[in-house]
Structures are given as C-alpha cells and as structure tokens.
Amino acid sequence: MTPFGRRVRELRERRGITLARMAEGLGVTPAYLSALEHGKRGRPTFTLIQGAIHLLGVIWDEADELVRLADLSHPRVTVDTAGLDPEATLFANRLAREIAELEAEDLRRLAGVLDDAAARRDQG
C-alpha cells in the first residue's frame, strides 16, 4: 500500500464511502481504485487527486497532504546514483535489496536521518 493509497482509504472509510461509490465518482473502475490504494498502480493523475479531494470533502491542509503523498507514492522507484559518491550507490542498492525486511521502526529512523539532512541543507 502506498502512503497516498493508505490515506485515501482511511478518509474514504471514515466518511462511509464505499470503494465502488468512490470509483464511480472518479470515473474509474473499482478494480483500478483498489489497485491504486494497494500500490499496484503508479502515481495517480492530477485529475484523479483533485477528484478524490472533492469526493472526500477535504480542504486546505488535508488536500495539500494528499497532493504531497501522491507525489511520494510511486510504488516502483528508480534511484539514479550516476555521478554520486560510491557510498550513495552502495546505499541505494542495499536499500533496494533489504527494504522488504525492514521493520516500521527501522523505516522511521531512516526517514528521520533524511529529515535531519534536509534540515541541515535548508539551513546552510
């Protein structure tokens, strides 16, 4: 399941909207929407994101969050390390090989490292 798919499903269920009803409102099949929620489809289109925002009745921060999550929800990621330090290539390959074995806490810690690096970059 992608971050976008998980959030859409949470919002949909909280509002009592069935998968079939939401799919109809978006103009897609229930199978497609289910695949999107489960990360078996690529990143959703801008039109689909906007439709989901409208159907789910979300505004402001929740809408921005859905757009951000959609951008971060491609289920098959390619990491281009050409021209980077060999350590970057090593890390990208290890992550690709081992990510399925990581626990949620491991993923949160790695995300924290990335957040810290982004904060340092933004300050400097």
Provide the token pair at 32. Answer: 């497609």
List the alpha helices (DSSP H) in 38-123.
46-56, 60-71, 86-98, 104-123
pLDDT of residue 1: 84
Provide the token pair at 89. Answer: 């290539």
pLDDT band at 24 (very low <50, low <70, confident <90, very high): very high
pLDDT tens readout for residues 47-96 = 999 999 999 999 999 999 999 999 988 878 889 999 999 999 999 999 99
Q: 30, exposed or middle or buried, with CB in 10 Å at 0-12, 13-18, 19+?
A: middle
| CA pair distance 8, 55, nearest whole angstrom | 11
pLDDT of residue 75: 77
What is the pTM for the complete model shown?
Answer: 0.71
| CA pair distance 100, 124, nearest whole angstrom | 34
Find tokens 């790695």 and name the residue: 110
Residue 26 has pLDDT above 80, yes or no: yes
Task: List Cα–Cα distances, 76 to 2, 41, 51, 114, in angstroms.
Answer: 10, 9, 24, 19
